[in-house]
Amino acid sequence: MTDQPQKIVALVDGSVYSASVCDHAAWIASRTGAPVELLHVLGRDEASDTHDHSGAIRLGARTALLKELAELDAQRAKLLGQRGRAILEDAAALLEKAGVTGITTRLRHGDLVEAVADVEADAGVILLGKRGEAADFARVHLGSNLERIIRASHKPVFVASRAFRPIQKVLVAHDGGGSARKAVDHIARSPLFRGLAVQVVTVGQATAEVTQALSDAKALLLSAGIAADTAVLPGQPETALAGLVEQAPFDMLVMGAYGHSRIRSLIIGSTTTAMIRACKVPVVLVR
């Protein structure tokens, strides 16, 4: 008797990225057999408007206005809840159309990162779009929620590109650190990567240490039945890797995410953020 694969937690918010999130969730589910949990979170600021808009006006009018504002607040919260349920229903319909079974939906109120933390214990991956509802107004910026989730989550985070395309070639960015080794180990253990072409690349100098790290990564993948090539590229990680993704082309980038120390978080974090911003393909981040 085999264990049930860990679920895919897919965050949908009704943005232009939501359809892509569903398409990528369906692709992951088809290769792993994992169930999908669709999650939509109503933020605290969305659910209610707690500001006092009445101003310094006479008591009778102020009381009446506060009552009207409370009624509008309740109506707004109700409409947002209905919208959230509609988003989840539409997402579930997309997954069902793609042949996915084992779909559950969850509507939550509160902070997005806290909501993800509550459901990630039995998750294999957290899946979300690169940007949220303001995507068309902030093309050069990553969503703050995305960065917060990457920092907080203990599970691999799959950042969907704007549109899905078939995934056949995977680029693995390897900097020799612990999170890079965990990324390679994740690939070796996951059925998601079986049959895909994998290349492990380090940006920098081809030192003995770098060569050995790439050799170890290749051997680990080979032991899992995954044939992988390795390479060392000159230049800076952000530009060299993004250029390679475009030129090869690769369909997915896998890399280590943020480290635990503050200094390492700043160094690795800046590279991670730049790579997500630059790449037009999905990025999988492993802690």
**Residue 66 scores a pLDDT above 90:** no
Based on the fold, state whether residues 195 and 91 are members of the same structural domain: no
Phi, psi angles (nearest 5°) of residue 9: -95, 110
Tally the domains of the chain: 2
| 181 and 109 within one domain | no
Beta bridge partners of 201: 173, 231
- pLDDT above 70 covers a percentage of the chain that reads 83
Report pLDDT digits (tens) over 184-231: 999 999 999 999 999 999 999 999 999 999 999 999 999 999 999 999
Residue whose token pair is 């369906």: 26
- Domain containing residue 191: 169-286
**Cβ atoms 287, 179 nearer than 8 A:** yes
Regarding whether 174 and 146 lie in a shared domain, the answer is no
In this structure, are strands 169-173 and 283-286 parallel, antiparallel, or unpaired? unpaired
Give one DSSP letter per residue of 197-240, joined into a string: EEEEEEES---HHHHHHHHHHHHHHHHTT--EEEEEE-S-HHHH
132-153 per-position pLDDT tens digit: 544 443 343 346 788 888 888 8
The answer on 176 and 151 residing in a single domain is: no
CA 239 to chain centre: 21
Q: Please tell me whether residues 144 and 16 are part of one structural domain.
A: yes
Of 116, 137, 138, 136, the C-alpha closest to 127 is: 116
Do the beta carbons of residue 28 and residue 34 sit within 8 Å? yes
Residues 238 and 118 in one domain: no
